[in-house]
Chain A
């Protein structure tokens, strides 16, 4: 009798902690889906840029698309890789909801999430630098701003950065949640 009462007490104190762990895992899944939508949107928004000005001369180019600038190609590739990774990590996240005590798979997720965070941030910040140049140019290096002529292209590339930087914030929250779940197992 005494033994079963002690076991029940131990289980009662463990139940709230398991409930919080489950809540953390559900939040992890929701954030992963949000980040997936953000990165996919960014990749598509940048990848479908194409603007042609209605006049032309023999020597000057009047067409802008994302692969004219290698940095934007890197941006589209990085966002595509990260959204593919997020899609593949959804089953692991669902597994964590069912088994809140899993530790090794959470460490695997932390390692992969950190790598994807670094890749995504590098792509987003490199594109931000080029977008800044496109808007403002640089007088000292004689680099002219191209946004004067290509308005719609400029708006598109600036908007696609928003989704990417939002996904960066979500990734930071994801890693923090994994760390929190690990420390209260």
Chain B
């Protein structure tokens, strides 16, 4: 074995007796240290793309759960009078209608973007699909954050009311309804956090391409 330095070469002769020449080929000469192979940029982008896929699946589940929890929220109180409404559903408040539709759109988009994400894993050097996913992920992030923020404002009002505008808290009567809508808002913020991480991962992967 020879080391490839310029001036003098240190040749160490390894005796190839007793027919073990094939196995000694792979062995290092004494004194040489094996250098650990650095991860290639393509392999590192592949790892980032795998994380992207995992986050995408989790975000889709969170968004779908939030839409379903809000969409199936309905509570009827067991008494009634002639003038007052004693039934609460998400339809009653337009902000919640917007929330259900937006989270459904975000969940559907995340489902449809799974094949693109898999393409990015298989071809780590392709920047076209990655860039398309970055644009669409940004739009989905904004839509999900908008829906979650608006619904959070209404849920806060439902819990606390507002003395200055004479808006009464409705959670006193509709406890179950309130729990449902609060849980839906929490789920949507989880989807928002995951989408933000997906956007950052896309940026990091674009750097490594």
Contact = CB atoms under 8 A, between A and B. Distances in A.
Nearest to B87: A140
A118 B164 contact: no
Given A111-B200, A176-B134, A179-B202, A125 B146 contact: yes
Interface stretch (B63-71, B107-115, B137-145): B137-145
A68 to B, nearest CB: 4
Contacts of A2: none
Interface in A138-185: 138, 140-144, 146, 168, 172, 175-176, 178-180, 182-183, 185
Contact of B95 (A110, A117, A122, A129): A129
A62 to B, nearest CB: 11
B204 interface: yes
Nearest to A103: B207
10 closest residue pairs by CB, A with B: A122-B149, A126-B153, A125-B149, A129-B150, A68-B164, A125-B146, A140-B92, A121-B145, A110-B203, A126-B149
A107 B138 contact: no
Contacts of A121: 142, 145-146, 149
Interface of B: 85, 88, 92-95, 127, 130-131, 134-135, 138-139, 141-142, 145-154, 156-158, 162, 164-168, 170, 192, 196, 199-200, 202-204, 206-207, 209
20 contacts: A103-B207, A117-B142, A118-B141, A118-B196, A127-B153, A129-B153, A140-B85, A140-B93, A141-B167, A143-B165, A143-B167, A143-B168, A144-B165, A172-B142, A175-B134, A175-B199, A175-B203, A176-B134, A176-B135, A183-B130
A69 interface: yes
A179 B206 contact: yes
A69 B162 contact: yes
A146 B166 CA distance: 9
A125 B145 contact: yes
A144 B166 contact: yes
A179 B131 contact: yes
Given A61-B164, A126-B150, A107 B92 contact: no
B200 A110 contact: yes
A114 interface: yes
A124 B147 CA distance: 11
B92 A146 contact: no
A70 interface: yes
A11 B145 CA distance: 44
Nearest to B138: A172
A180 B165 CA distance: 47
B190 to A, nearest CB: 13
Nearest to A184: B127
Contacts of B149: 121-126, 129
B68 to A, nearest CB: 21
Nearest to B146: A125
